[in-house]
Amino acid sequence: MAPAPQRHTADELIRPERTAGALRAALARVDPSRLDEMQRTMDEAFSQAIDHKSLAPIQAWLLVWAQNIEIARRADLRTRYRHAQGVLTSYDKHEHGDEDAVNKALAEISAVLDEAQQAVRG
């Protein structure tokens, strides 16, 4: 009798290699709703690389998506990021002037992005 397949949470997902295929496979597991966005931005990066005769746009694309996946796969980062985004989304300077909350949310998003980037860069 074969063992039942194991289910893994996003937090258990091993950090993928920084290749397009590995990142796509990881995104399919942790946030499949963003696969079209990933493909669109990859196409843009490759087009820019050709136009500029440089690998820099592709390298930047790989880093950004590794960072996005790091946030999606880790509950701590995902929760902090979504909460800060929610604060920014609900902010309307015409209805209330809580700029302190906006500044804190922006700082939190920056901190999450920095932490995710440090994690994927090793």
Distance in angstroms (rounded) separating the CA atoms of residues 48 and 46: 5
Backbone torsion region of residue 15, taken as left when φ is above 0, otherwise alpha when ψ lies between -120 and 50, otherwise beta? beta
pLDDT at 15: 86
Per residue of the chain (122 residues), give pLDDT as tens: 444 444 445 455 678 999 999 999 999 999 999 999 999 999 999 999 999 999 999 999 999 999 999 999 999 999 999 999 998 888 776 566 678 888 999 999 999 999 999 999 98
pTM to 2 decimal places = 0.81
